[in-house]
Structure 1
Amino acid sequence: MGAAVAACAAPNAAAVLWCETGRSTASVERAARFGLMPVATLTELLDRSDIVISLCPPAAAEDLARDAAGLRFAGVYVEANAISPERVQRIAGLLEPCATVVDGGVVGSPPVRGKTPTLYLSGPTAATERIEALFAGTAVQTAVLGAGIGKASALKLSYASFQKTSRVLVALAIGMAREHGVDQELIEVASKRTDSYLSEPQYVAKTAARAWRWGPELEEAADALAAAGLPPEMLRAAASTLARWHEVKDDSALTLTDALDRLAHP
């Protein structure tokens, strides 16, 4: 997601940089494919940047923000990770007043092959307007939710709670039906309702391949539920289920049968 979103900013930016130190070969290849300019250190990236967009695994969000704060970054910092509103507010506390923090949340698929995700924003008006201008006319649409830090993250996690947990429930339903030899009948029943995720069994393999990042997102959403006084147990159970697929990270060759086998016998 990060490289594809960054590439969309290129037409409206002097340069789009990324820090390659410590990143995987796959990340380096992906950044090169999207035309991003590598720099050797975070210090160099921050010195040369007016705007930083943080899109990384949720667990790394605060460490990255803490590093940026330690280097006295003084531009606009878009915290666009799938993290709870409470964590976004903590990150804002780390970076301000040197930096201006904008809360962000990407909803939708990466902006490739005609996909047009929306980057929801909340924060100071002058800063959100800069981000809107950065992505104007690109495949990344923007929508401003107001000035409150946490609004964009709350919307992102609210949507993820439903969308990702629904995909996990599909895998469990098909897995149970398969165990009793009625999986095809289940799919046939589901096919009569085209608006149901259950009518898309082929997506189970994609769910498995993405489980390594979906699980932490659901843990973040569970934390947000708990902070709102709502029961988090369902989302924590979904995250635990996704953890059974941790070993098939980004495996594009995974089949429905493979995914169900690994779900039943991790």
Structure 2
Amino acid sequence: MAKPTVGILHPGSMGAAVAACAATNAATVLWCETGRSTASAARAAEFGLTPVVELAELLDRSDIVISLCPPAVAEDLARDVAAHRFAGVYVEANAINPERVQRIAALLETAATVVDGGVVGSPPVGGKSPTLYVSGPADATARVEVLFANTAVQAVVLGTELGKASALKLSYASFQKTSRVLVALAIGMAREHGVDQELIDVASRRTDSYLSEPQYVAKTAARAWRWGPELEEAADTLEAAGLPPEMLRAAASTLARWHEVKDDSELTLTDALDRLAKP
């Protein structure tokens, strides 16, 4: 079977690295440079992705398109793709809730085959190996498995039902990301009373406690612009299941206090806690 041409929408830190893994088993990996930032262009060049000027060209040439973008724009992006009558495999790999996956599938299903996807783990660089969970039509999910075979991205098929992969992703994110927010609040409270180091010492005796990793608070702050919307999606999923969403919405509201430090790799623990204490 001929190697597929793959399109990535869009090459953020996760998208570019995942696309680079796909390049192992693809003829080429395309990205659309129109409207993208210089940072996106630099990432795409770093990972050896091939630029095209227009979205229409990317869609015309691609057999498989992977959508990895901020959750808020996932449906708008799918509408743009649907308008071009893309007829290949569309991997909806964003951190969105299952109901939104179904809406996106309805937009695209007259021409494309939609695969539900969810990435669990860090971008596949520096020895890290995230898992791309997928669900949907068997032929399409099998193509995704082949695309990432023998790469740092592990593709795992959950079945044929759209929404399963997104539900798993958001279930995990609900715990993992909210736990990191609770660490920031706990350390911030302890610092106010001069016992933050003592709190960390107590937590360090428990090897399974996020409280023993205070350095991660700054990383949490830098990622808040992505994590907040993801938790809102998870809260919607809880609400749809008749479960209380308030805890996740509160965590998302806390993360919103860090929106101004988007991707700030120089942020310190002290800076992050100071910003958290000043709405």
TM-score of the superposition, structure 1-length normalised? 0.99
State the AA in 2 paired with 1:113.
Answer: G
**Counterpart among 229, 233, 249 of residue 246 in structure 2:** 233
Per-residue CA distance 1:209-241 (angstroms, 9 max, x = gap): 000000000000000000010000000000000
State the AA in 2 paired with 1:238.
Answer: A
Per-residue CA distance 1:235-257 (angstroms, 9 max, x = gap): 00000000000000000000000
**Counterpart among 9, 30, 34 of residue 21 in structure 1:** 34
Query: For this pair of structures, how many residues does the alignment match?
Result: 266
The alpha carbon displacement at 1:97 in A equals: 2.2
TM-score of the superposition, structure 2-length normalised? 0.95
State the AA in 1 paired with 2:135.
Answer: S
Gap regions ≥5 residues in structure 2: 1-13
Hey, what does 2:73 align to over in structure 1? 60
Hey, what does 2:137 align to over in structure 1? 124
**Counterpart among 60, 70, 77 of residue 47 in structure 1:** 60
Q: Could you tell me how far apart the structure 2 residues matched to 1:175 and 1:23 are?
A: 37
> How well do the aligned residues superpose, as a CA RMSD in angstroms?
0.5
Superposition misfits of 4+ residues, deviation over 6 angstroms = none
State the AA in 2 paired with 1:211.
Answer: A
Per-residue CA distance 1:139-185 (angstroms, 9 max, x = gap): 00011000000000000000000000000000000000000111011
Hey, what does 2:268 align to over in structure 1? 255
**Counterpart among 198, 216, 219 of residue 211 in structure 2:** 198
Secondary structure of 2:169's aligned partner:
helix
Per-residue CA distance 1:11-69 (angstroms, 9 max, x = gap): 21010001111111111111110111011111000000000000000011000100111
State the AA in 2 paired with 1:52.
Answer: V
**Counterpart among 135, 138, 147 of residue 151 in structure 2:** 138
Q: Could you tell me how far apart the structure 2 residues matched to 1:124 and 1:148 are?
A: 8
Secondary structure of 1:93's aligned partner:
helix
Q: Which moved more, 1:17-26 or 1:246-255?
A: 17-26
Secondary structure of 2:128's aligned partner:
coil
State the AA in 2 paired with 1:58.
Answer: P
Gap regions ≥5 residues in structure 1: none
Matched, 1:178 2:226: no
Secondary structure of 1:62's aligned partner:
helix
Q: Could you tell me how far apart the structure 1 residues matched to 2:79 and 2:116 are?
A: 16
Hey, what does 2:8 align to over in structure 1? none
